[in-house]
Amino acid sequence: MPITVRDPEVPKFVRGSVVVQRRRCGKANCRCATGEALHEATVLNYSEAGRTRAVMLPAEAVGPVRKAVERYRAAQRALEDQANAGLTKVVKVWGAKR
């Protein structure tokens, strides 16, 4: 089921990074033209097919998406720890026979 602006429920895990982008809009008379007061937008950056993509996040979604990214990273670290423990065990059992 797609996530809509009206339904801010976020999946449990989200791969990417929540960042604040600051940039100029390009209008000559805008406050950002001097570079002092740039426009800010909070986005989710993620990689797809070797390219970095960005999704602008509404204010109400920033917190939940950031927490989902943190859960993803924690799960990734836990899986890496389990994989390293398994590798250590395999090397200990079968690596010593050489």
Helix, strand, coil tally for the chain in percent (to 5) = 45, 25, 35
pLDDT at 34: 85
In angstroms, how far is CA 4 from the centroid of its own chain? Answer: 19
Give 11-69 pLDDT, tens digit per residue: 999 999 999 999 999 898 998 888 788 999 999 999 999 999 999 999 999 999 999 99
Q: Tell me the pairing of strands 51-56 and 39-48.
A: antiparallel
Grade residue 97 by pLDDT with cuts at 50, 70 and 90. low
Lowest mean pLDDT among 4-8, 72-76, 78-82: 4-8
pLDDT, position 98:
57
Q: Domain spans of the chain?
A: 17-97
Spatial distance between the Cα atoms of 43 and 62, rounded to a whole number of angstroms: 8
Q: What is the DSSP string of 18-64?
A: EEEEEE----TTSGGGGSSS-EEEEEEEEEETTEEEEEE--HHHHHH
